[in-house]
Amino acid sequence: MTRSPIDIDRLFHALGDPTRRAILDLLNHGPTSVTRLAGPLGITVTAVAQHLLILEDCDLVRTEKIGRVRTCRIEPSGFAVLEKWIKAHRSHWESALDRLGDALAEDEGLG
Amino acid sequence: MTRSPIDIDRLFHALGDPTRRAILDLLNHGPTSVTRLAGPLGITVTAVAQHLLILEDCDLVRTEKIGRVRTCRIEPSGFAVLEKWIKAHRSHWESALDRLGDALAEDEGLG
DNA sequence: ACGACACTGAAGTAGTTGCTTCACTATGTC
DNA sequence: GACATAGTGAAGCAACTACTTCAGTGTCGT
């Protein structure tokens, strides 16, 4: 339904930050709380909460607050969008490889 | 280990900008010059050159200056790094799907 | 040689980002 | 009820980003 470029824009932007990828790595070991994320990352819970908003916004993470604890976990649908983008572009850079081969065969003639 | 090198950091950051992805889209139609990129993008050649430095830095684009014209083309190796990162992380969010399916089923659209 | 062309380098700027601190609410425990 | 715990909201700040303009440098056509 959402095939706008804004989707992939937010997705790449979210993944472009090392702290956010570190959060994803931590969540790969299983769901955990905001405070338990902040510890190993060496930043405040406020900072983690801000990152989580961004990660949730592009469906890389899903969070659910039960009582006073917000439990965070990996949300696969965001990654699916990423894979879709790559799949859509793979043919192009594969053909770039072919073109390189052609260029090597014909050597020159570009302008 | 899946400890992210600086490589993937620059890669995601490069792809996080819509103008840079637009440059890649233009280059998908074949190699072209800096000036010919600047036109459809509606920005100055200086801005394009700055983007190209970033794209070259993470091997998404390769450029070659012949005479006074710098010819830019898709460089597949950067995309290969991206695919490698995804391949390394896919199992994690697939197991997240399993965990989710085991826990409960909220309605969420996944194509 | 001269001017048009393609690009480069430096410097500046408005807007964004990642993080902080402080004050606050809501929940669990005694 | 009192206190600690878990997280939220607002405001502020230093660093960064994407662009610009202006002044070059090198190259091509005539």
- The two tokens of residue A13 are 């932007």
- The two tokens of residue B12 are 């995601």
Q: How far apart are CA A102 and CA A104, in angstroms?
A: 5
Domain A5-106, CATH number (from 3.30.360.10, 3.10.20.30, 1.10.10.10, 3.40.50.300): 1.10.10.10
Domain B6-102, CATH number (from 1.10.10.10, 3.40.50.10490, 3.30.70.260, 1.20.950.20): 1.10.10.10
What is the model's pLDDT at position A90?
Answer: 86
Question: How is chain A split into domains, by residue range?
Answer: 5-106
Closest CA of chain A from B84, distance in Å:
11
- pLDDT for residue B59 is more than 50: yes
A32 touches strand D (CB under 7 A): no
Burial level of B99, CB count in 10 A (0-12/13-18/19+)? middle
- pLDDT for residue A1 is more than 50: no
What is the model's pLDDT at position B2?
Answer: 36
- pLDDT for residue A110 is more than 50: no
Q: How far apart are CA B85 and CA A10, in angstroms?
A: 18
Q: Which residue has the tokens 């961004």?
A: A54
What is the model's pLDDT at position A7?
Answer: 86
What is the model's pLDDT at position A93?
Answer: 79
A80-83 own/partner pairs: CB under 8 Å, 24+ apart: A80/B110, A80/B111, A81/A7, A81/A8, A81/A11, A82/A8, A82/A11, A82/A15, A82/B86, A83/B86, A83/B90
Residue among B14, B16, B78 at smallest CA distance from B51: B14
What is the model's pLDDT at position A100?
Answer: 58
What is the model's pLDDT at position A11?
Answer: 95
- The two tokens of residue B70 are 């710098």
Q: What are A34-90's pLDDT values in tens digits?
A: 999 999 999 999 999 999 999 999 999 999 999 999 999 999 999 989 998 998 888
- pLDDT for residue B51 is more than 60: yes
Residue among A77, A29, A71, A30 at smallest CA distance from A52: A71
What is the model's pLDDT at position B24?
Answer: 95
Which residues of B touch chain A, with CB atoms under 8 Å apart?
2, 4, 8-9, 12-13, 15-16, 18, 21, 24, 28, 30-31, 66, 69, 71, 73-76, 79, 82-83, 86, 89-90, 92-94, 96-97, 99-100, 108-111
Confidence bin at B111 (pLDDT 50/70/90)? very low
> Which of A1, A24, A93 has its CB closest to that of B74?
A93
Mean pLDDT across the stretch B8-30?
94
Strands (DSSP E) contained in chain A are: 32-33, 61-66, 69-74
What is the model's pLDDT at position B3?
Answer: 40
